[in-house]
Amino acid sequence: MKIVVGHLYPDYLNIYADRGNIAVLARRAAWRGHELEVHTVSVGDPVEPGAHDLLYVGGGQDREQALVAEDLVAKSDGVRAAVDGGAALLAVCGGYQLMGRSYRDFHGGDLPGIGLFPLETVAGETRMIGDVLLECELEPGVVRTLAGFENHAGRTRLDAGAEALGRVVAGFGNDGDSGFEGCRVGRAVGTYLHGPLLPRNPWFADWVLAQALAHRLGEAPVLDPLGDELEQQAHAVSALRARSRGGKR
């Protein structure tokens, strides 16, 4: 089956190897006989509702976010229609911030977001950097750990009742205070975790793939397991580094 990915602003938002997440999805799809077809969606390009099974956006510095923010707002109807129509979405760091309502940068400039996620972000005086470990329950009763690397000045505050991606076991998370990281709205997920995220978290890569396939199939399929020994080792190393930092800061 062909899985169509709309990669938003890869020419602007691609730090800390965020592009590697696409490579992981392509390989894990191919190992199961599927094809990942990636379309670049940059400044001036529309997001056509129904055209993509997954939308992906990576991270960037304040300068790059400022260059794309207004254009992303112009795409907001298309992004919302895609998600409302069952497409999956994964937004990392700067992309995550712009999927909220707004981001106030370090210099006090307000960048508009599209409001897909119920949150707002304000840059703090210091950066929150290091390995981070989460506990996630994306399926009822199934708790898994998610390991990655965070490097952000933004303090992201979720609205009351909003669903976080996970609970912080070690590291900072959204704001260094609430104990939560990321945000989830149905098949749309935002997170600060770089690294890239998916190579060291094969279960989450497969969850994203399954959500993309659900756009075509109507429900998320159960994917055949893969031999993930190396990926599990990478996860274990990252998780150990995060735990050595202690609890949330």
**Mind telling me the catalytic residues?**
93, 194
CA distance 39 to 212: 15
Q: Which of 2, 28, 55 is nearest to 230 (CA)?
A: 28
Residue 238: both structure tokens together:
């990252």
Residue 180: both structure tokens together:
């939560």
CA distance 54 to 113: 19
DSSP 131-151: EEEEEEEEETTEEEEEEEEEE
